[in-house]
Amino acid sequence: MCIPRLYRKSSFLVLHCRWKATEVTHYRNSGSQVPVVNQRLDISRYKFPSDPDALLVDPNRLKRGERVYQKLSIVFPAIAFTVALSIPLGLATVFWLTSGARNKGSSKSADGSASASFTSSLPPLLTAKDLQKLVYAKTPTIVVYFFPGGSDEEANRVNLHSVVLKEISSLSGSPLNVFRLDAKEQFHNLNPFLKEEIKRSPGLLIHAVIPSENESSVISVLPPVSVQSFVRHLSRLLETAGIKFSKDDPGVRTLDQQLARVKRCIFDLTIEGKLRFLDGQSLDLLEQQCTKLLGTTTSR
């Protein structure tokens, strides 16, 4: 440190004081350069990028953690978008492949059902819950209550009546719907009045449901002894409800002739003691089965 003196300074002392002043100034300047450099580095982070169209920020302008975060923010959305796009595409592909297989199977089943429809003429089965809907039906309906099983004679009688009623409903101009109900299976679900009526009708009970303005009326009808007599009786019942049912259809006589042949054949089998259950679902099939069975028994 230079101490001023009253007397004249020597040259050595002057040089020493200058050296000290220069050293102090240099020290001060060197200490103040550090924050200036850091300030310049901080300012460089906010300069305009060299490539304005670049997707990512220049890594030289970011810290290490910021560089990692920048990469993750690009990679994870890309992965999420790929997964979100691949899932519906994969489901659509699987659905397309399985639908093709289902279409092939359905076409085969449709062909099979179409071919079976030519041989199957039995009325569809109902449940006890379905009977409640028939009360409000707008189409005249025949319901056959039957007990499955029993002897071959009883089974043939139930099957024959069901087939004949279905054949009648298939006549031109017929407004009938025909259904069956397994009374043995659905008996516990029926109302008490219907249970008593079924008990009083051994083997078979037939109801005609005739629509009216409010609720349909249910009438018990006898099994068809002949097609013509049954159609005439039913047409008179339907006329009261304003429903037309042609009783002069040429098909009525044809069905009557075929029904008579089937009954005669079944009677012959019964006389010979060779009666078997005939599961034909149309009069044509019943006649073929009975004739074949009768021919086999007579040849023996």
Structural domain includes residue 281: yes
Structural domain includes residue 26: no
The parent domain of residue 184 ranges over: 129-299
Structural domain includes residue 137: yes
Structural domain includes residue 62: no
Q: What is the pTM of this model?
A: 0.56
Q: What's the pLDDT score for residue 70? A: 77
How far, in Å, CA of 73 to CA of 128, rounded? 65
Judged against a pLDDT cut of 70, whether residue 128 lies above it is answered with yes
Structural domain includes residue 28: no
Looking at the 3D structure of the chain, how many domains does it have? 1
Structural domain includes residue 218: yes
Neighbouring CB atoms inside 10 A of 98's CB total: 10
- Number of alpha carbons in the 13 Å side-chain half-sphere of residue 267: 6
Residue 232 sits in a domain of what CATH number? 3.40.30.10
Structural domain includes residue 71: no
Query: Mind listing the pLDDT tens digit for each residue in 55-112?
Result: 677 777 777 788 788 788 888 888 888 888 888 888 888 878 876 655 555 444 444 4
Q: Pick from 44-48, 88-92, 94-98, 218-222 the range whose average pLDDT is largest.
A: 218-222
How far, in Å, CA of 180 to CA of 162, rounded? 8
Q: What's the pLDDT score for residue 45? A: 62
Averaged pLDDT for residues 192-217: 84
Specify whether the backbone of 3 is left (phi greater than 0), alpha (psi in -120 to 50) or beta: beta
Structural domain includes residue 35: no
